[in-house]
A = this chain, B = another copy of it.
């Protein structure tokens, strides 16, 4: 049926969320069923105020589309907003008013929930709407798919950053031999695990990786660091920001809150801050920490070309599905390797409800027995996702000293 299409972006930034937008618009532009192509500003929250722009006009120039593809973060703006029943009704009226029949929403769990509820309400009220979710999250924790668009670029960034930070820590071993890198990833360890992808030998960073799938006992942590330091003279640790201890308490909450707000809410330092102080106090080793924060989400300088292409592909697939009359689904990425084992990936679908209600943690087989590193199985899984090879750095063999006559 002929109608207009709207696309929105939602949730945290990635390096490739705009590539998905470009994929949706490219597919929609090539289909004569589509009338106008609208972009909602700031997701459904912005659409409550009918803040829409005309993407057919704004992206008519192929060079603009190409530039958009390589622009990190959400060009349309995003929100984290849970619509209530009345607001959903308002949005449906807006869809009707503008004859919007195709709705593509790029995001993670919460956005899938929003998209699902809109699809459901349209169905119940007899309004023909084809609502399709487009996956996006650096956390890589959406179910029913091999991996999530955005993760490959995050993984490439962290692999490189950890190598950089690692050779610095090695070079500075006499000054600050312990480095802790605190990374994102919500309740799953995919993000922290990615830091291992640049490692090519045991003495190289990272030496320890702690993911939220396993509780971390601060005393065990100290034993691990002491062991690595004894072996190599330096130690690089990567830790997920939500790693907890055996009682389920956030690691940073072991120390004192550094700030209490006017409501009495306590703010604790992150685990890296807490653990680096612990290392200094208990092991007498100087420790530093890096917290790349939002920078890790969306570095275009470290984008994975594979991720960029796949993000475009899921965008195209979403528009194609909507136009084929599918609704209440999310596009997925399914691995389908070639005949010689070369990496390949195709799109599939799952129900939006599946996505909305679950998160996918790392399987046990991706984390080692000790709970302090990833396994080869994880590395084999993740390596194809980061695009081309990583930079290789020069290293002197420090054991080949000039003989002292």
Contacts and interface: CB of A to CB of B under 8 A. Distances in A.
Interface residues of A, number: 87
B71 A167 contact: yes
A334 interface: no
Contact of A52 (B58, B172, B401): B401
Identical chains in the assembly? 2
A292 B77 CA distance: 24
Given A290-B295, A295-B165, A402 B75 contact: no
Contacts of A281: 261-262
Nearest to A38: B402
B294 A292 contact: no
Interface in A290-330: 290-295, 297-302
Interface in A372-405: 391-398, 400-402, 404-405
A42 interface: yes
A332 B386 CA distance: 40
A345 interface: no
Contacts of A164: 72-73, 295, 298-300
A345 to B, nearest CB: 25
Interface in A13-53: 13, 18, 36, 38-39, 41-42, 45-46, 50-53
A259 interface: yes
5 contacts: A53-B402, A78-B174, A164-B300, A255-B259, A256-B256
The 6 A-B pairs with the shortest beta carbon distances in the complex, nearest first, are: A258-B258, A290-B293, A71-B393, A73-B168, A74-B171, A68-B394
